[in-house]
Structure formats: C-alpha cells, structure tokens
C-alpha cells in the first residue's frame, strides 16, 4: 500500500517580537497510521499545535514515520476542497500572547506522481481564491522542504488552522 502525501516538517513563523523562530515542529517517528499528531516542540507563547488529516483521506502507516493518507482522488482544487482532501495544522497561542505567522514549511511525499499542494488558513477561509500559496511535487521521500511565505497573519491571538489541500494524480491507494 502507498501513501498520498506525508507531512514531515516544521512550521516556521515569526513571533510577536518579529524574531524568526519555529513555533511548532513535529517528529513523526513511531506515529505512522495516526490521523492526528500533536507537535513535539512548541515555542514559548504557543499553547498547542496539532496536525490532522481531513475527512477525505484515510490514515496509513507509511514507514511508521509520517502523517500520511490514502484515497486521494481529487484531480482539481475544487474537488479537493469539496471532498476534504487535506492535511490540517492548528496552532493556538498561549493566553495573552499574539503571534505573527510569516511562513509554513512542509516536506511532501507524492509517490513519484505529480500532485499540487495548496495552503489556506482559517483567517482567509477555505475556498478557492483564498489560497496563500502552492507548489507542485513529483517525488518520493527525498523531496526538499517546501516553504510558503505568509502575509496577513500578524498579531494572531486565537487558534488558526492551516490546511494543505492536495490534488493531481488520482489513486485511491495513494
């Protein structure tokens, strides 16, 4: 069995003081098959961060070290949006803290098939036209870390959800 996409990354954001720091990062070792994984490392000022698969994907134990899903069948962004084929990251500032989020980094796995990964946030909405950025990947586990720069996320003092919608090559087993 193969996976559609895998998240093995750190989220890199600027803090309220505008110094670059990683606000949340994950170590997926031993978490294969889980549909939800809490961040292993949180910066000061962050109360929680969680990564989950959207309801349109089925979790799979891909090498035991990833947040991975199968059943990616969307060939367009519109279909991916309507069928909930995404990986979500929710980050929550600590009480009384505000974050300025400046970038998002992810290492995708696309099983050597061309797939597009599109970032949205709850601040802008999860509908076409509100995407923050995107990239296309075509590779397996050795793809480079991808970064999408983020604007309009200054002084965030409530939980913010980011979703990476996936579409392209379709295969219910990947």
User: For 48-54, what is the mean pLDDT?
Assistant: 92
Note the helical H segments in the chain: 77-83
Q: Looking at the predicted structure, is the pLDDT value of residue 10 above 60?
A: no
* Chain mean pLDDT for the chain: 82
Question: Which three-class secondary structure string do you get for 59-78?
Answer: EECCCCCCEEEECECCCCHH
- Look up the pTM and report it: 0.86
User: For 31-42, what is the mean pLDDT?
Assistant: 83
Is-contact 156 97, C-beta < 8 A? no
pLDDT one-digit tens code per residue, 109-123: 777 788 899 999 999
pLDDT one-digit tens code per residue, 129-166: 999 999 998 876 667 888 999 999 999 999 999 999 99
115's enclosing H/E stretch is strand 115-121
Residue 174's pLDDT is what?
A: 55
Distance from chain centroid for Cα 165: 8
Is-contact 21 15, C-beta < 8 A? yes
Q: Is residue 11 very low, low, confident or very high in pLDDT (cuts 50, 70, 90)?
A: very low
Which pair of tokens denotes residue 68? 């991975």
First to last CA, the chain: 7
Going from N- to C-terminal start, the domains of the chain cover 5-168
Residue 167's pLDDT is what?
A: 92
User: For 24-49, what is the mean pLDDT?
Assistant: 85
């Amino acid at each position: 069995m193969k996976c559609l996409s895998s998240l093995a990354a750190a989220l890199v954001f600027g803090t309220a003081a505008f110094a670059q720091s990683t606000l949340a990062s994950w170590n997926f070792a031993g978490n294969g098959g889980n549909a939800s994984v809490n961040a292993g490392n949180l910066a000061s000022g962050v109360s929680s961060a969680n990564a989950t698969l959207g309801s349109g994907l089925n979790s799979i134990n891909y090498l035991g070290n990833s947040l991975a899903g199968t059943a990616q069948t969307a060939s367009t962004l519109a279909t991916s949006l309507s069928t909930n084929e995404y990986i979500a990251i929710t980050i929550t500032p600590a009480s009384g803290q505000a974050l300025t989020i400046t970038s998002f980094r992810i290492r995708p796995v696309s099983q050597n098939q061309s797939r597009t990964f599109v970032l949205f946030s709850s601040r802008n909405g999860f509908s076409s036209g509100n995407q923050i950025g995107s990239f296309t990947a075509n590779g397996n586990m050795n793809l480079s870390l991808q970064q999408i720069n983020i604007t309009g996320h200054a002084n965030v003092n409530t939980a913010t959800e980011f979703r990476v919608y996936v579409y392209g090559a379709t295969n219910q087993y990947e």
